[in-house]
C-alpha cells in the first residue's frame, strides 16, 4: 500500500474479499446520490487488519427526501433491504435521528448508514482519503482522526485490560502501518480533544 499524504490517497493492490465487494456494491449506488465517507472498523480491515466485522459504517451529508427515495429504489433494485423498516418515508425519518442498516440477502454483513451530525463526522467527510483499489475507489476517514477515535472508543480500564480491546488493536494496526506518513501533530491534536492522550503509548 502506498499512502500519499498530500494527495490524500492510498493505492492498494490488495485482492478484494467478500466484505470489500459488499462495500463497493453499496457505495457504487450511494455515490450517485451523495458523497460518503467510511469510518470505524472497516477502515482498519480495508487497510489490512486481520479481523472480520459485521458492519460497515458509512456517513453521508443530510439528504433531501426526494433523493433518499431515489437512493432507496436503486438499492432495492439491486437487492438491498433496510433492516429497520420497509417503508422509505419511515427510513428517512429514522435517518434524521439515528443510523439505519442495509443488507443484501442475509443480515451479515450490513451497512450502517448515518447522517453527518457532529464536527468529527464533518471533519472525516471533508478530509476523507481516497483508497484506490485497482479500478475501484472507496473513501475513508483521515487516519489521524481514525486512530484517535479508536483509542476513544476503547473501554476504560487498566492498561492490561485495554491491550486486548479490539479498538486499541485497530488503532495500533493503523499506526504501525502508517507511522511514517501520518501527521503526528494532528494525531496529538485529536487525542487531546478526545481526552485519550494517555492511551497514545499503547500504539508504540
Partner 1 sequence: MKICDVNINLEELKKFKEQNAKERLEFIKFWAEYIKTHSDKEWSKQQNKLINSQLRTARGIVKEKSGKLKNR
Query: Which residue ranges make up the site for partner 1 (CB under 8 A)?
Result: 1, 12-19, 45, 48-52, 54, 105-109, 160-161, 163-164, 168-169, 172-173, 176-177, 202
Residue closer to partner 1, measured from CB, 15 or 185? 15
At its nearest, how many Å lie between partner 1 and the CB of residue 87?
23
Measured from the CB atom, is 39 or 56 closer to partner 1? 56
Which residue lies nearer to partner 1 by CB, 77 or 204? 204
If the CB atoms of residues 79 and 107 are measured against partner 1, the closer one turns out to be: 107
3-class DSSP state of 54: coil
- Beta strands 55-60 and 2-4 are unpaired
Least distance in Å: CB of 10 to partner 1? 11
Nearer of residues 18 and 119 to partner 1, judged by Cβ: 18
Backbone φ/ψ region at 48: left (φ over 0), alpha (ψ -120 to 50), beta = left
Q: Which CB sits closer to partner 1, 105 or 185?
A: 105
Give the nearest distance from C-beta 31 to partner 1 in angstroms: 23
Rounded CA separation 81/65 (Å): 18
Q: Is the dihedral of CA 175, 184, 133, 31 positive or negative?
A: positive
Cα first-last separation, the chain: 21
Q: Give Cα 143 to chain centroid, integer Å.
A: 11
Number of CB atoms found within 10 A of residue 135's CB? 5
The C-alpha cell 479498538 sits at 167
Shortest CB 172 distance to partner 1, Å: 5
Distance CA 36, CA 15 (A): 23
In the complex, the smallest distance separating the C-beta of residue 81 from partner 1, rounded to whole angstroms, is 13
Distance CA 74, CA 82 (A): 12
Least distance in angstroms from the C-beta of 133 to partner 1: 9
Amino acid at each position: 500500500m502506498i499512502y500519499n499524504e498530500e494527495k490524500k490517497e492510498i493505492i492498494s493492490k490488495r485482492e478484494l474479499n467478500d466484505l470489500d465487494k459488499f462495500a463497493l456494491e453499496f457505495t457504487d449506488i450511494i455515490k450517485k446520490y451523495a458523497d460518503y465517507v467510511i469510518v470505524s472498523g472497516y477502515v482498519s480491515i480495508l487497510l489490512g487488519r486481520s479481523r472480520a466485522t459485521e458492519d460497515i459504517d458509512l456517513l453521508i451529508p443530510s439528504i433531501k427526501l426526494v433523493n433518499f427515495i431515489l437512493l432507496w429504489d436503486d438499492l432495492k433494485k439491486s437487492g438491498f433491504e433496510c433492516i429497520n423498516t420497509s417503508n422509505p418515508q419511515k427510513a428517512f425519518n429514522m435517518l434524521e435521528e439515528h443510523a439505519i442498516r442495509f443488507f443484501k440477502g442475509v443480515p451479515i454483513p450490513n451497512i450502517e448508514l448515518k447522517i453527518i451530525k457532529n464536527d468529527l463526522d464533518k471533519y472525516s467527510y471533508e478530509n476523507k482519503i481516497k483508497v484506490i483499489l485497482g479500478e475501484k475507489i472507496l473513501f475513508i476517514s483521515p487516519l489521524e482522526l481514525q486512530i484517535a477515535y479508536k483509542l476513544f472508543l476503547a473501554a476504560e480500564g487498566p492498561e492490561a485490560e485495554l491491550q486486548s480491546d479490539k479498538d486499541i488493536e485497530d488503532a495500533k494496526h493503523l499506526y504501525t502501518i502508517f507511522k511514517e506518513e501520518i501527521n503526528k501533530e494532528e494525531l496529538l491534536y485529536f487525542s487531546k480533544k478526545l481526552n485519550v492522550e494517555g492511551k497514545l503509548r499503547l500504539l508504540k
